[in-house]
Structure 1
Amino acid sequence: MNDINREFVSHDEALARAEAGVAKLAATRNDRWYPKFHIASNGGWINDPNGLCYYRGRWHVYYQLHPYSTQWGSCHWGHVSSDDMITWKREPIAFAPSLEADRDGVFSGSAVTGDDGRLWVFYTGHRWANGVDDADDNLEVQCAAVSDDGVHFEKLGVIIDNPKGFRHFRDPKVWKQDGMWYMVFGMSTADARGEVLLYSSENMRIWHFEQVLFRHPNPGVYMLECPDFFPVTDKDGNEKWVIGFSAMGSKPSGFMNRNANNAGYMIGTWEPGGQFTPETEFRLWDCGHNFYAPQSFNTVAGDTDDNTDGRQIMYGWYSPFVQPIPLDDEGWCGQLTLPREVFLGEDGDIHTVPAAEMAGLREDSTDLGVVEVKSGTETVVAENAEAMEIEMTIDLKNTTADRAGIKVHATPDGSYTYVAYDDQIGGIVLDRQANAFGDRGYRVAPLTADELAADQLTLRIYVDRGSVEVYVNDGHQTMSSYSYAADGPRAVKLVAESGDLTVASLTLHNLKSIGLE
């Protein structure tokens, strides 16, 4: 264990080199799609959100970062913080590979306020078995680090060794309950089955295996990345538990699992010492093209500040893995979703809505009221929307269109992304068939029978420079997709096909920058 905790390079030196790498890429960054109100690195590649927490009066978001190119590589932790979850500040890179244990990557993990008042980070130390690539498998262990300010960290080294040299053994999520610390992380077994393991500790340093909390029933799912586990309360006050994971190896089926790997959840019951009992099937967190590896945290964790009100806040990663990836040549690649509040709706299912703070991004608003769009026509409602929130309610009783909705990023060359209610499919379609850049295709967020029978359908659509984020019916479904707008003004248009569209209410909000540009 001592050898694995040996420092092969000064952490300060590794961090300085990484900062220089990001700065070099940022100096030539192309901002045509760089987000105005989503978190992204100044330069380089990012993936999973990590270490989400509220600590000493500030919100902290860390993320997987490769500081030397716009492709995935040796993972570091980038870092931004905020005192209001609206305006963000870039912090120094928090972690770089420096120990033998994390020589080839400081992989994903979580953060909590410890019993000593310090911020504790738990992450996976990653090494290539052959020192070069994954041809001879990985070596992964769980590590810890501590901080007094959430910015500068002391690495403590390995706290949980890989018990049998399993190839996939990563992504710790830690929380405290009833005086005991718990940790879940994902593993791929010797027979290539995805599992979530549960460990416990009294002091955060010595950890004990409790049980296999969940084993995926599908033998084709070989790894459960970025597991999450947290309680929610139903409408009758009963506690339920949500287990979330990103399933590697799941196969497409209908509208489900259309992406390379798919992040979702199951609702069930659990109490310490017992088994997790699922009560639902696997459901997607997000039905878009580019959502993966979400992480959540509870805002009461370790703090008594007025801002800590007990919400479960989640960020996800806009994963751009399907080729072609236009961001490869932009100096940056990857962004996070908006922060989302996770709760159990009256319908008994999980809802995710933009955090309440997101209303603070609004600079000005235009209320267009009721809008009628005749069959086969388009109505321009904004000439150029670079950063906009659209609140839209469709009157289902008086809408006769087969398909109707809103085109965003509609540029003079005929490119656009279309968010539409499709009456034949019975769902919301996010269609990128007319995109000029990148992968096209469409995704569907299916509606329930009750939603289809309702009088109204509500949409909240966030349009950033290179992405679209859609919330359906108070967040019962969400969709996150890249949308690489072509040159010129980016119009917003209402559209009706094979019938008329009646919009009961439409409000447009221009959004300000979160300060990371």
Structure 2
Amino acid sequence: MTAVSSLVNEAFRPAFHYASKDTWLNDPNGLIFHDGTYHLYYQNNPFGNVWGNMSWGHATSTDLVTWTEQPVAIACDESEDIFSGSIVWDEYNTSGLGGPLAAPLVAIYTSAFKEDSPHYGHQAQSLAWSTDGGYTWTKYHANPVLERESANFRDPKVFRYSGPRGSYWVMVAVEAHDYTVVLYRSDDLKTWEYLSSFGPANGTGGVWECPDLFPLPLDGNEDNIKWVLTVNLNPGGPNGGSAGQYFVGDFDGVRFSSETTVTEGLQDPARLSEYLWLDWGRDYYAAVSFNNVPDGRRLMIGWMNNWQYSNDIPTSPWRGPMSLVREVSLVSFNAQIRLRQRPVWEANADPGRTVSYTGLDLDAGLHPVEGGTAVQVIEATFVPGSAEEFGLMIRGNGDDGTRIGIRPGEGRLTVDRTTSGNTDFHEDFSSIDSAPLQPTGGSYDLRIFVDHCSVEIFAQDGQVTMTELIFPDPENVGLALYASGGTVKASSLTLTTLD
């Protein structure tokens, strides 16, 4: 690679999303808040910027916006790769892995065993522990602690359950090729007892991975608790490739039961848009939540990429960013239950410089607006008129750019990245993607986070989200409003440039 092309690719490094310094990353792992610090572990190749040599990378933050890369936490070796998993704070040392003065952090991860292991060909669950706050780790001598003699048993999310049946650890993992979530319980994190299974259901167009299970109050009512099961799948997303889905229901300490299942068994392609998706964009995968967050908040983060083209995105020396952290809640909407996702941002980020517009009446065509930059937050409210489609073109040059549009007649939000910049690095990248979207009170509200290589869209206060990678010319920072086939009113437009 020439020095010039390297500089161009490095220009895509995100300003307010996490990416490693010079290596590959994918799924977030081991998310936990401990002793005032948020810990983000992740699938990492310490030796290159394509998938391989899976280990746990590590980054820390006190505000969920600014991250500090740490040394590799749990490394692969000659007998195993370290696949996805989770971390718990074993406050009462149920595992016996802590010291007399330090309750341990315990990582539960998938061992992908190699030829040098007697478990070669299997995936099983193993432990490592830390007594220095998550910076150095020791693998448990009796690994694995849970083996099903399966080649695709992976991605354990562990949490502490307390309910009518008692208090114990619960593991949620997957038999990936069976489209099945499997649940286990333990008193000590070492010995596990099978509880139940869930699936196949809804999206089954690809393997199931990276599950999560957690309670949330519906509409903030602590007397009405629902449980949310998230499952990521690849491929099979609503716009192709990788995606995450969720189910809402109940968990009684043994079994999860869903109230939102559309398709029992394998998916019906004709009903794909009826399933509940964490994000409708092409680039939000393996999303899981943080353990031990204060005040019971449920915070999630995902890998901002898609397995269709993840090894080929034009960045160097790093490859693969994370999404923004999102706080999720359960809300009622049109007699249905939905996850609302809001970026964790306002209290922690530099407010930057703001430009505001109001009452913009637009006829058909492209209408440039002053204030577009490569790194900014855009807040827009549209009142539909006669236009068949309307919205914004970001990171443009007057002719090309990324179009974020609303088609009221179809009830769809769209992202068109066919002329967004570098799209020919992989045949699957160029796309026009869409999500269902309905107005609230007669208007459409968009909150858009634009970074050097991505756009994250939160529509109608986070009831619909779309996340997409883009690779525009670094010089293309133009912003425009547009309408097609008629008129529209942009009742407000606020542009915040981030430093």
TM-score, length-scaled by structure 1: 0.82
Larger CA deviation: 310-319 vs 154-163: 154-163
**What CA RMSD, in Å, does the superposition of the two structures yield over aligned residues?**
2.5
CA contact (8 A) 2:16 2:66 kept: no
Moved over 6 A (4+): none
CA distance in 1, matches of 2:318, 2:343: 25
1:225 and 2:209 are equivalent in the alignment: yes
| 2:122 alignment counterpart | 139
Deviation at 1:201, TM superposition (A): 1.0
After superposition, the C-alpha distances for 1:120-151 in whole angstroms (9 at most, x for unaligned) are 111111124599xxxx9942111111112211
1:440 and 2:430 are equivalent in the alignment: yes
Residues 30 and 182 (structure 1 numbering): CA distance in 2 closer, same or farther, change over 3 Å? Answer: same
After superposition, the C-alpha distances for 1:199-243 in whole angstroms (9 at most, x for unaligned) are 11112222222222x121479656320011111111353111111
CA distance in 1, matches of 2:283, 2:413: 16
Q: Give 3-state SS (helix, strand or coil) of 1:309's partner.
A: helix
Deviation at 1:320, TM superposition (A): 3.7
Aligned partner letter, 1:263:
G
- Which runs of structure 2 are paired with 1:416-495 in the superposition (5 Å)? 416-438=401-423, 439-447=429-437, 451-452=438-439, 454-495=441-482
Aligned partner letter, 2:284:
F
- Which runs of structure 2 are paired with 1:159-198 in the superposition (5 Å)? 159-163=144-148, 165-178=149-162, 179-188=167-176, 192-198=177-183
After superposition, the C-alpha distances for 1:469-499 in whole angstroms (9 at most, x for unaligned) are 1001111111111110124241111111111
CA distance in 2, matches of 1:95, 1:140: 17
1:277 and 2:258 are equivalent in the alignment: yes
Deviation at 1:119, TM superposition (A): 1.5
| 2:99 alignment counterpart | none
CA distance in 2, matches of 1:486, 1:400: 33
CA contact (8 A) 2:37 2:60 kept: yes
Q: Give 3-state SS (helix, strand or coil) of 2:461's partner.
A: coil
After superposition, the C-alpha distances for 1:379-415 in whole angstroms (9 at most, x for unaligned) are 22324x121011111123xx32111111111036x33
Q: Give 3-state SS (helix, strand or coil) of 2:475's partner.
A: coil
CA contact (8 A) 2:31 2:291 kept: no
1:107 and 2:83 are equivalent in the alignment: yes
Aligned partner letter, 2:136:
H
| 2:249 alignment counterpart | 268
CA contact (8 A) 1:266 1:283 kept: yes
Larger CA deviation: 122-131 vs 311-320: 122-131
User: What residue ranges of structure 2 are gaps of 5+ in the alignment?
Assistant: 1-5, 94-102, 263-274, 424-428
Q: Give 3-state SS (helix, strand or coil) of 2:352's partner.
A: strand
TM-score, length-scaled by structure 2: 0.85
CA distance in 2, matches of 1:357, 1:118: 33
CA distance in 2, matches of 1:289, 1:211: 32
| 2:25 alignment counterpart | 46
Residues 391 and 453 (structure 1 numbering): CA distance in 2 closer, same or farther, change over 3 Å? Answer: closer
Larger CA deviation: 263-272 vs 120-129: 120-129
Residues 159 and 29 (structure 1 numbering): CA distance in 2 closer, same or farther, change over 3 Å? Answer: farther
Deviation at 1:112, TM superposition (A): 1.4
CA contact (8 A) 1:378 1:495 kept: yes
Aligned partner letter, 1:98:
D
Equivalent of 2:188, from 195, 199, 203? 203
Aligned partner letter, 1:444:
S
CA contact (8 A) 2:156 2:171 kept: yes
CA contact (8 A) 1:244 1:264 kept: yes
1:121 and 2:107 are equivalent in the alignment: yes
| 2:268 alignment counterpart | none
